[in-house]
Structure 1
Amino acid sequence: MFSLNPRASLAMQSIGVEQQPVAIVEDFALDPEALIAYAESGEPFRATPGDFYPGIRKRAPTQYADDFCTRYGEVLREGFALPVNSEPRVIFCAMSITTTEPQRLRPVQRVPHFDTSVANQLAIVHYLCGPEHGGVSFYRHRSTGFETIGQDRIQHYSATLKREVTREHAPPAKYMDGDDPLFARIASYEARCNRALIYRSYALHSGNIRRILPPEMSPRAARLTVTSFVRYD
């Protein structure tokens, strides 16, 4: 019921100066309507204390996460040049709806972010909404030139960004969607229902959040995605 589509089309692209790979998968799920129906039933979406995600979440079906490793583990290991003998492991998989109004964003939510500083983790964002809700963009930090934040960069990047946002360019209360004094956009991908985007979790990125609906709205009317993190150990 929640299986991925064995006939989905996958294309690899490279972005930015660092030529980081991004995978675009069309027709990702065999039955996207089943996932939307799952989102509308069962346990409710909830905000998670301490989570920087600007919205609410609920667990995705177990079958969905398991199927991802089976169908895409090997091809993504090659496409992202991950260690030959590494095995994919899903460490997070949840349905997500963006609900936070721009004026309520915390400063850290107003700038591009990275999910982890380790290089062997991939992020998968599966869109179950249309382009009117906005996709995702990737960024270069202007002063350092960094497009990814690995463990060798995190200390310098964090100190530099903290100085910039507190002394020079406080980010306005809005979602990031394009160039600003601190970051340059290097690539952008639109949301499309049943499209998945896959990229390294340490890439600087931000959702192009263009439509916020109240939490009580039906998930099918909202910016509904399935977000997963897969680590190759």
Structure 2
Amino acid sequence: MSSMHELTPELSASPTARIECRYIGVEQYPLLIVDDFLNSPEWLVEQASQADFAPNQGLFPGHRAAAPSAYTDALERALPPLLADVFGTRPGDINRVESSFSLVTQAPESLKPLQRIPHFDSRNPRELASIYFLCNRLDARYGGTGFYRHRRTGFESVTDDRFNPYVAALEQDAQQTGLPAADYIRSDTAAFEKIAEVSARYNRLVIYPCTVLHSGIIDASFDFSRTPAQARLSINSFLVNH
């Protein structure tokens, strides 16, 4: 019988990978997009089909499972030169990578108020987040990721010094216009303006600062499947600096 090591491919960046860097909004923060990122994405889809998904305990609206260490290893081998060029990181800056398979499974009517607006992953501008799409090719149902500006403050990202003013402004928004409707944000609203969008595409990696306001674009026709091969499957990672 073959060992698990023998069954695990050597995941690596594909020689046909295509790299694009955008600078977003008034703040001109970098957004890195790598298409055809890995050489064996189908192996990761197979691993997801065997993974033990559980409801997320935080604000992510769905189920998560641990991603294979082979994926984290591939990130750590492939990304340092790109991150240095785009985000100005130095060797050793990224000293921990946390990755999870993710499936959006939560129905709109069950969303908490904070799940109905864009979010940020960390207030530390040195930390980076990524989403690696493994959902079925160019199926428009899987949306992508939208990036936003908060109208009242003009903030496109939230750092420590902006946190309290941002929270106060959100409370003002709620007082003036009420809580956002029980739905996923996917376009402009009274409180937020969408400033950029990246479509979900099979084998596409997207990297951005953890501080930026963003949200998954979940269309009204979304079916919230929990079957990885048919679902909005992605791997979400946090690249942590200390």
> TM-score category by the smaller chain?
over 0.9
Which deviates more, 140-149 or 130-139? 130-139
Q: Is 1:196 equivalent to 2:171 in the alignment?
A: no
Which deviates more, 73-82 or 102-111? 73-82
What are the residue-to-residue correspondences of 1:88-107 with 2, within 5 Å? 88-107=94-113
Relative distance call for 1:85 and 1:62 in structure 2 (3 A) is closer
Q: Residues 118 and 202 of structure 1 are in contact (CA less than 8 Å); yes or no, is this contact kept in structure 2?
A: yes
Q: Is 1:56 equivalent to 2:63 in the alignment?
A: yes
Distance 1:105 1:2 in 2: 39
Q: Is 1:135 equivalent to 2:144 in the alignment?
A: yes
3-state secondary structure, aligned to 1:160: helix
Structure 2 unaligned residues grouped into runs of 5+: 1-8
Q: Residues 97 and 219 of structure 1 are in contact (CA less than 8 Å); yes or no, is this contact kept in structure 2?
A: yes
Q: Is 1:212 equivalent to 2:212 in the alignment?
A: no
Q: Deviations over 1:58-98 (max 9, x none)?
A: 0001111122122112321231133x454213342000000
Relative distance call for 1:107 and 1:12 in structure 2 (3 A) is same
Relative distance call for 1:209 and 1:90 in structure 2 (3 A) is farther
Q: Residues 13 and 78 of structure 2 are in contact (CA less than 8 Å); yes or no, is this contact kept in structure 1?
A: no
Cross-structure match for 2:76: 69
1:132 CA displacement = 2.1
Q: Deviations over 1:180-224 (max 9, x none)?
A: 000000001110111111100110001001213243xx2110000
1:166 CA displacement = 4.3
Amino acid at match of 1:27: D
Q: Residues 80 and 91 of structure 2 are in contact (CA less than 8 Å); yes or no, is this contact kept in structure 1?
A: no
Q: Is 1:81 equivalent to 2:88 in the alignment?
A: yes
Q: Which residue among 137, 155, 160 is the counterpart of 1:151?
A: 160
3-state secondary structure, aligned to 1:113: coil
Structure 1 unaligned residues grouped into runs of 5+: none
Q: Residues 142 and 232 of structure 2 are in contact (CA less than 8 Å); yes or no, is this contact kept in structure 1?
A: yes
Q: Is 1:124 equivalent to 2:130 in the alignment?
A: yes
Q: CA RMSD in A?
A: 1.5
TM-score norm. by structure 1 comes to 0.93
TM-score norm. by structure 2 comes to 0.89
Distance 1:32 1:131 in 2: 20
Cross-structure match for 1:47: 55
Deviation beyond 6 Å, 4+ runs, structure 1: none
Distance 1:107 1:37 in 2: 34
Distance 2:91 2:11 in 1: 26
3-state secondary structure, aligned to 1:207: strand
Q: Deviations over 1:119-175 (max 9, x none)?
A: 111111000114321100100000100001011101110121123124433100110
Q: Is 1:227 equivalent to 2:233 in the alignment?
A: no
